A and B are shown apart, each in its own frame.
Chain A
Amino acid sequence: MTNDNTTRPGPARPVHGPLLSVRDLTMTFPGGRGRSARPVRAVDNVGFDVARGETLGLVGESGCGKSTTGRMIVRLLEPTGGSVTYDGRDISHLSQRDLRPLRQEIQMVFQDPHSSLNPRRTVARIIAEPLLVQGRTAAEARRRAAELMELVGLIPEHIDRRPHEFSGGQAQRIGIARALATGPRLIVADEPVSALDVSVQAQIVNLMGRLQRELSLAYLFIAHDLAVVRRVCDRVAVMYLGRIVEIGPKERVYAAPAHPYTRSLLSAVPLPDPVRERARERITLLGDPPSPASPPPGCTFHPRCPKARQICRTETPELGPPAPGEVRQVACHFPETP
């Protein structure tokens, strides 16, 4: 990439402390119509940090609140409780106007590249839009857009094409280029590869890895595919029904999962290896994830948990500090001991 010093934030900021710090983050949506409508707590007291240049994977099944968490961090949603601190500054209730400078620093990449790109606009316009908003001239913005296309592996000559002329993988590259336009330091990527063909997913995973190294980006990588998350992240947080049940360095969580949910989740993923599949011991969970509109009492996982006992039905386990000599945290009354 060229030496474009305008894309990186100035060095004036303190570099100690995490880049992103989330504490007790909660999102309660008002219930729908009807008499039985109750408020839905989609995210419930979630807390984690993301260090500079680090990738935190946020995994879980549908309805676990992982996307809602991501949307609160980029402030597409205003949290109903808790705080989001970016670079030492609480941004959880900033006004749209005060958020504007921060939007340069925190960007988002979406799941479906085609539906997140305006079909009527050219790639030049799509990528340059954030720059125009920041007050750059049209010529500058266009030049920068061409550079960004090259950076993400697109052919800059295609700058005047429209999204439908690109394949799914290329469209996701456009979405990434747009996110990079303002020189962000944190990217929230919500299922960035799950809508892509298998043979194309690896290209985008590799691209995001390279960009992270070249631009010192931090990622919050939200995904349901545990194999992809293992490949891209440094640490991983597992969510179930709005809460984090386990968080820690990925080597630890993947090699020795402590929460029964993490264990069964990992064992449910089929491996592309028939010999190992036949030899594998699987923990098959009963039932479906419950609805966040009527969460079970106590530990919300207890109705499906093979280890549940009486206390699990009444008391909610907290995500306490890690045990002595341990690096990961787990919210379970009876965690697996290594």
Chain B
Amino acid sequence: MAVEPLLSVRDLTVTFATDGGPVRAVDSLSFDVERGRTLGIVGESGSGKSVTSMAVMGLHTGADVSGSITMEGRELVGLAERDLNRLRGRKMAMIFQDPLSSLHPYYTVGEQIAEHHRVHFGSRRAASRRRAVEMLAEVGIPEPRRRAGEYPHRFSGGMRQRVMVAMALACEPDLLIADEPTTALDVTVQAQILELIARIQQERDLAVVLITHDLGVVARVAHDVLVMYGGRAAERAPVDVVFAAPAHPYTRGLLDSLPRLDDADDAPLRAIPGSPPSLLAPAPGCAFAPRCRRAASAGAEARQRCERVEPGPVAVAGHMVACHLPLGPDAAPCTPSSEATP
């Protein structure tokens, strides 16, 4: 796969100034996304996954963003707001968790989609309006001509998210960033939206960045997975590798702790002890070390290294992992839990 990536992120660091001192929400993050592929970014609250997507869109006005974000070779970090505005919507678009709060309640759905098109293409009112109806049809909204004239509150949660997808795609961007696009939706509606995104991706050869906490969603739609923890990349690999042979103890722990629908086991789950770290007081070493069983059971010297030295990313055969004690590819497969933990 020697394809030139569409989006290339290198050493991205996002720091916010807070009353409690600077908070590094994203720390030295690197990844690529190619056309036609979906990168799933997985993490829990405070992992930095949403901050990353906002940084790519250039939406962090108050934060200090360093490193490099290039789109088709063009650097986005430090780009003037005016130039960014030209790219946003046109080259890259974003959909969010809660479609109702991202839609303007005073304008009809059709007007909101058409405005996008007018701004970026300078098209006439009638043409942009036609485009809006076309887009609503494309995302599977029945009676698009009539629905284009309705206000967002008339749409159900799933239909609103379809409207967001229509709006995001109206200007034919190359990159779609979807931040927890189905988290607020019911599971039957989630399945519809995931299918919609996958279909449109195929038709348009879109690069998609899907941000989620749900490992099931990632398994269903992602080609590559980036696991984040405490603002850093823990692991990055093709989806099958991440699920079949996770190298980071955190990834492994997440998979082991998950109750599974296809598992009739009643034994207690193998929970990860503790809670995700606070970014206000980051540990000097590996962010996961305080919760890591592998570190805890390692020798004193190795454990000290985990606690004091931040592990840098190491790449082995396309599989990147940031861990002093990575799991080997021959570690026991990730089967549903059978052993109990206190």
Contacts and interface: CB of A to CB of B under 8 A. Distances in A.
Interface of A: 61-62, 167-170, 197-203, 205-206, 209-210, 224-228, 230-231, 251, 254-255, 264-266, 268-277, 282, 284-289
A270 B188 contact: no
7 contacts: A61-B186, A200-B271, A224-B187, A270-B194, A270-B219, A288-B158, A288-B189
B297 to A, nearest CB: 18
Given A271-B261, A288-B189, 19 more contacts: A168-B45, A169-B275, A197-B44, A199-B272, A199-B275, A199-B276, A200-B271, A205-B259, A231-B263, A255-B264, A270-B194, A271-B216, A271-B262, A273-B243, A274-B240, A275-B243, A277-B216, A284-B195, A288-B186
Contacts of A287: 158
Contacts of B203: none
A256 B302 CA distance: 49
Contacts of A288: 156-159, 186, 189
Contacts of B268: 205-206, 209-210
Counting chain A CB atoms within 10 Å of each CB, the highest count among B158, B186, B188, B263 belongs to: B188
A230 B44 contact: no
Nearest to A286: B192
Contacts of B125: none
Given A275-B240, A288-B159, A268 B261 contact: no
Nearest to A209: B268
Given A277-B220, A284-B195, A272 B188 contact: no
A206 B220 CA distance: 27
B200 interface: no
A287 B269 CA distance: 35
B254 interface: yes
B56 interface: no
Nearest to B214: A270
B190 A268 contact: yes
The 3 closest A-B pairs by CB, nearest first: A270-B216, A202-B271, A202-B257
B258 interface: yes
Contact of B273 (A62, A203, A225, A231): A203
A227 B258 contact: yes
Contacts of A225: 259
Given A198-B254, A272-B219, A227 B191 contact: no
Given A273-B243, A274-B240, A288-B157, A197 B264 contact: no
B51 interface: no
B258 A202 contact: yes
B319 interface: no
Contact of A200 (B195, B218, B258, B275): B275
Given A168-B275, A273-B243, A277-B219, A199 B254 contact: yes
Given A197-B45, A199-B254, A288-B156, A271 B271 contact: no
Contacts of B35: none
A202 B187 contact: no
Nearest to B275: A167
B239 interface: yes
Contact of B191 (A167, A251, A282): A282
B290 interface: no
A286 B269 CA distance: 34
A314 B28 CA distance: 61
Contact of A285 (B156, B188, B194): B188
A269 B191 CA distance: 8
B269 A227 contact: no
B240 A272 contact: no
A221 to B, nearest CB: 12
Contacts of A265: 187-188
B260 interface: yes
Interface in B172-204: 186-192, 194-195
B215 interface: yes
A198 B291 CA distance: 14
A86 to B, nearest CB: 27
B255 interface: yes
A268 B193 CA distance: 11
A231 B266 contact: yes
Contact of A199 (B44, B222, B263): B44
Nearest to A197: B44
A274 B243 contact: yes
B270 interface: yes
A306 B211 CA distance: 32
A198 B215 contact: yes
B276 A230 contact: no
A198 B213 contact: yes
Contacts of A277: 216, 219-220
B275 A269 contact: no
Contacts of B260: 227, 271-273
A289 B186 contact: yes
Given A202-B272, A209-B268, A227-B258, A272 B44 contact: no
A273 B257 contact: no
B164 interface: no
Contacts of A167: 275-276
Contacts of A255: 264
B5 interface: no
Contacts of A282: 191
Given A251-B264, A270-B214, A206 B187 contact: no
A276 B262 contact: yes
B253 interface: yes
